[in-house]
Amino acid sequence: MNATDDTESFSGGCLCGAVRYQLKPPLRPVIACHCRQCRRTSGNYVSATAVPRQSFALTSSDGLKWYRSSERARRGFCSECGSSLFWSADALDTISIMTGTIDGKTGLHTVAHICVADKGDYYELDPSQPQYADHHYPSPWSSRPNDE
Ligand SMILES: [Zn+2]
Ligand SMILES: [Zn+2]
Enclosing domain of residue 55 = 10-118
Angstrom CA distances, 148 to 13, 41, 105, stand at 23, 12, 28
Q: Would residue 136 count as lying in a domain?
A: no
Q: How much is the pLDDT for 7?
A: 66
Q: How much is the pLDDT for 8?
A: 79
Q: How much is the pLDDT for 148?
A: 45
Q: How much is the pLDDT for 142?
A: 46
Q: Are 52 and 94 in contact (CB under 8 A)?
A: yes
For residue 51, report the distance from its CA to the centre of ligand 2, in Å. 17
Q: For the domain that residue 45 is a member of, what is the CATH number?
A: 2.170.150.70
Ligand closest to Cα of 19 equals: 1
Q: Would residue 133 count as lying in a domain?
A: no
Q: Would residue 125 count as lying in a domain?
A: no
> What is the number of domains present in the chain?
1
How large a percentage of the chain has pLDDT more than 90? Answer: 85
Ligand closest to Cα of 147 equals: 2
* DSSP secondary structure of 68-122: E-SSSEEEEEETTT--EEEEEETT-SEEEEEGGGB-S-----EEEEE-GGG--SS
pTM of the entire structure? 0.88
Q: List per-residue pLDDT tens for the chain, 148 residues long.
A: 444 554 679 999 999 999 999 999 999 999 999 999 999 999 999 999 999 999 999 999 999 999 999 999 999 999 999 999 999 999 999 999 999 999 999 999 999 999 999 999 999 999 999 999 998 888 776 444 444 4
Ligand closest to Cα of 17 equals: 1
Q: Would residue 4 count as lying in a domain?
A: no
Closest CA to 10 of 66, 63, 49, 62: 49
